[in-house]
């Protein structure tokens, strides 16, 4: 459709698997540009592929006179101006399944870290302490996991949690009982999740309707022995309200991989009983390899005149 060899700008360290696919018949340039450098580079390229660092904003899209497709090697496309791309008729494609297993495993890992007090145990050992009696924890087996959102990642978390012997209940207004049952969970309303769950794990996108979806009111409903896990998007949980809930003993603890402001700042960093990781959900070798390969296939489909499977803007 667009001719033969194209120039593709691959930013932020796209996986070797993705680069190899893109390089079959196309000229690929790898870079980790500053915003200013990206603006200078983009006019010479037919496609750009990014991870989470580079921002393909309206200014970059306007400067990309030759742009035919924008690829995001991951799930979220927060760093791509979809409206500006749509106005130009430029498909935005992503890799929605690349990090599913990686994020699901991290959510389970944060549950284990919280319930078995692993970070505290590690820190105390390195301080020369042996405080075994003070670090008694809880098993996941027999506990209730409440999912908020049962998409690709939430459903995988449910499957893994079931293998641990957890009872899984789930709130997702977009799925019926049979669809949620297929994910080894039982459909309930949000209040049931909050009231019954020993662990509440959030797996919803950040859109205007979900901003601070979990905030002060929700912490009032949760059990004071419950833990909150968030590996979805910062801003879905009100970090300040969570910090207050932890200080006041409204809930037992939390495990967070995402934050309203990143790098994280504010009260949540000093809150008690919270395990924090720096947005590591997709940061596995396996997940990055899958994401790079998937987005490469999507970009190549557009350049070859074929319909991509994972286009996030419609026109």
- Chain segment 214-260, per-residue pLDDT in tens: 999 999 999 999 999 999 999 999 999 999 999 999 999 999 999 99
Give pLDDT, residue 93: 98
| pLDDT(144) > 60 | yes
Share of the chain above pLDDT 70, in %: 99
Across the range 259-277, mean pLDDT stands at 96
| Catalytic residue from among 233, 290, 297, 310 | 233
Give pLDDT, residue 5: 86
| Catalytic residue from among 138, 196, 212, 279 | 279
Instruction: Encode pLDDT of 84-137 as tens digits.
Output: 999 999 999 999 999 999 999 999 999 999 999 999 999 999 999 999 999 999
Instruction: Encode pLDDT of 295-309 as tens digits.
Output: 999 999 999 999 999
Give pLDDT, residue 52: 87
262 tagged catalytic = yes
| Residue ranges of domains in the chain, CATH in brackets | 7-98+285-303 (3.40.50.720), 100-276 (3.40.50.720)
Give pLDDT, residue 308: 97
Give pLDDT, residue 1: 52
Confidence of residue 171 (pLDDT cuts 50, 70, 90): very high
| Catalytic residue from among 5, 262, 265, 286 | 262
**For residues 52 and 179, which has the higher predicted lDDT (pLDDT)?**
179
306 tagged catalytic = no
| pLDDT(3) > 80 | no
Give pLDDT, residue 76: 85
DSSP string covering the chain: ---S--EEEEES---HHHHHHHTSSSEEEEE---HHHHHHHGGG-SEEEE-SSS-B-HHHHHH-TT--EEEESSS--TTB-HHHHHHHT--EEE-TTTTHHHHHHHHHHHHHHHHTTHHHHHHHHHTT---GGGG----STTPEEEEE--SHHHHHHHHHHHHTT-EEEEE-TTS-HHHHHTTT-EE--HHHHHHH-SEEEE-----GGGTTSBSHHHHHHS-TT-EEEE-S-TTSB-HHHHHHHHHTTSSSEEEES--SSSS--SGGGG-SSEEE-SS-TT-SHHHHHHHHHHHHHHHHHHHTTPPPS-B-S--
* pTM of the complete model: 0.90
Give pLDDT, residue 237: 98
Confidence of residue 78 (pLDDT cuts 50, 70, 90): confident
What's the mean per-residue pLDDT of the chain? 96
Confidence of residue 2 (pLDDT cuts 50, 70, 90): low
279 tagged catalytic = yes
């Amino acid at each position: 459709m667009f001719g033969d060899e194209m120039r593709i700008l691959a930013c932020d360290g796209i996986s070797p698997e993705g680069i190899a696919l893109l390089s079959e018949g196309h000229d690929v340039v790898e870079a980790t540009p500053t915003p200013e450098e990206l603006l200078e580079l983009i006019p010479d390229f037919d496609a750009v592929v990014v991870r989470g660092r580079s921002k393909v904003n309206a200014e970059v899209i306007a400067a990309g006179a030759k742009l035919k497709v924008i690829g995001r090697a991951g799930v979220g496309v927060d760093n791509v101006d979809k409206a500006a791309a749509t106005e130009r008729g430029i498909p935005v494609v992503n890799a929605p399944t690349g990090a599913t297993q990686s994020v699901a495993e991290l959510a389970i890992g944060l549950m284990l870290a919280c319930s078995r007090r692993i970070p505290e145990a590690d820190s105390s050992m390195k301080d020369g302490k042996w405080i075994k009696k003070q670090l008694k924890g809880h098993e996941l087996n027999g506990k209730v996991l409440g999912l908020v959102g049962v998409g690709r990642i939430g459903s995988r978390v449910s499957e893994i949690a079931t293998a641990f012997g957890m009872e899984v209940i789930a709130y997702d207004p977009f799925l019926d009982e049979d669809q949620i049952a297929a994910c080894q969970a039982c459909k309930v309303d949000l209040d049931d999740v909050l009231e019954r769950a020993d662990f509440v794990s959030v797996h919803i996108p950040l859109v205007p309707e979900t901003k601070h979806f979990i905030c002060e009111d929700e912490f009032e409903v949760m059990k004071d022995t419950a833990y909150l896990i968030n590996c979805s998007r910062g801003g879905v949980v009100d970090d300040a309200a969570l910090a207050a809930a932890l200080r006041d003993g409204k809930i037992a603890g939390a495990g967070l991989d995402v934050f309203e402001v990143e790098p994280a700042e504010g009260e949540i960093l000093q809150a008690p009983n919270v395990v924090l990781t720096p947005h590591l959900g997709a940061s596995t070798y396996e997940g990055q390899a899958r994401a790079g390969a998937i987005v490469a296939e999507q970009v190549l489909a557009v350049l070859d005149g074929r319909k991509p499977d994972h286009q996030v803007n419609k026109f």
